[in-house]
Structures are given as structure tokens and as C-alpha cells.
Amino acid sequence: MSFVGWLIAGYIAWAVITAVRKSAAGAAQGGTAGRPRSESQEEALRRVLDALGGAQGRPSPQVEKLRVRPDRTAVRAPKHSGARPVRALPSEVTQDHDDEAEAVILERRREVGSRNTALAGDDHAAFDDRMRREDAAAVDAGRGTRDAVAQLRKLIVWQEILGKPVALKEGKSG
């Protein structure tokens, strides 16, 4: 049972014991045992009954009287389920891209067919010559220029800035 449940059970027990003691004290003073002597005892018994009804999940009649009835004339907002259906915009012209897709597929197959032929020795030699010429041109373009030297200098400086401290580099004994 939870803490709140224990509190409710304790309150009910306390109220019952208090009511019994007061009725026993009233009977000892000459009053009738079956009938409460004052309005306060009657209210105490009603509170006990209300607490018992609340513990059993039934609201007491006094609570029912106090409940506010919903106003039937009030305007109610519609309930939202969270996700609204998306309405598609009406399109007057439906485009069919199947023909264009077939043309693209055919073009790709032709390109693949032209590339999938066996290469002869002359083809290999032409490829080798082209690669050697492009490689030599790239080396000649970058060799000895001021931009390449400046770029190399910047790279060395950044390597020193971002690298390990001299004391932690391999081969250095301190």
C-alpha cells in the first residue's frame, strides 16, 4: 500500500475511534447511546462516512451535490487527434516519365557496351603515354615556384605548432 493509502487508513481509524469515544462519553453522562448528542458529533460521523466512501472509491452524497454539472449550451471545440490528414493538391496533368527513363537506360547500356571491349596492346601503350605526359606536366608546373615554397613553409610551421612538444618526440633524450 502506498504512503497516501496508509494516511487515509490512519485518518479513518482515528475518526472512528474518536467518534466511538465521544459517543461512549455521552452515554456515560446520561444521553442515549444510539443517538449523537450534538451537531458536531453528527458532522464527525458524516465525515467518517465520507472518508470511508472516498477510500472505497465512491463519492459521498455531499460531494455529489458540490460537483459542477457541464454546461450543455457551451460551444465545444472539436477534438484533434494530433495528425491531420494531408490533402493532395489536384493535378491537372499527370506526367509520365517512363519513356524518358527508358531512353536514359538505353544510353547507359550503350556507354557500358563501348567501354567493355577488350583492350589491345596499342590501347595500353596510348594510356601509358598519356599518364606519363600528364604526370610530367604536373611535376614541371609545381617545381620551384614561389607558391609551392611558401606553401611548404606554412605546412612545416603548422606541423611544429600542432605537433608534439620537442621533449615528447621520439629519439629525443632529455
- Give pLDDT, residue 65: 59
Cα dist from 55 to 15, 51, 65, 104, 111, whole Å? 13, 6, 19, 77, 83
Q: Is residue 81 part of a domain?
A: no
103's grid cell? 531512353
Q: Is residue 31 part of a domain?
A: yes
Q: Is residue 101 part of a domain?
A: no
**What are 37-58's pLDDT values in tens digits?**
566 777 887 788 777 776 666 6
Q: Is residue 102 part of a domain?
A: no
**What are 114-173's pLDDT values in tens digits?**
888 787 888 889 988 888 888 777 766 656 677 778 888 999 999 999 988 888 887 765
Give the HSE-up count for residue 26: Cα atoms under 13 Å, Cβ half-sphere: 18
Among 25, 49, 66, give the residue marking a domain's end.
66
At a CB cut-off of 8 Å and minimum separation 6, what does 157 contact?
A: none
Q: Is residue 88 part of a domain?
A: no
Largest CA distance in the chain: 133
Q: Residue 36, Cβ neighbours under 10 Å: how many? A: 18
Per the structure, the count of domains in the chain is: 2
Whether the CB-CB separation of 31 and 47 falls below 8 Å is answered with no
Range of the domain at 129: 122-166
At a CB cut-off of 8 Å and minimum separation 6, what does 37 contact?
A: 26, 31
Among 29, 50, 66, give the residue marking a domain's end.
66
pTM above 0.75, yes or no: no
pLDDT at 68 > cutoff 60: no
Whether the CB-CB separation of 48 and 16 falls below 8 Å is answered with yes
Cα dist from 131 to 30, 87, 144, whole Å? 125, 58, 22
Q: Is residue 13 part of a domain?
A: yes
Q: Is residue 108 part of a domain?
A: no
pLDDT at 60 > cutoff 60: no
- H helix intervals, the chain: 3-28, 39-55, 61-66, 98-115, 121-142, 146-162
Q: At what angle do helices 3-28 and 39-55 cross, to 10 degrees?
A: 150
Q: Is residue 171 part of a domain?
A: no
Q: Residue 69, Cβ neighbours under 10 Å: how many? A: 5
19's grid cell? 467518534
Whether the CB-CB separation of 36 and 23 falls below 8 Å is answered with yes
- Give pLDDT, residue 103: 92
Residue 110 CA to its chain's centroid (Å): 49
Among 66, 90, 108, give the residue marking a domain's end.
66
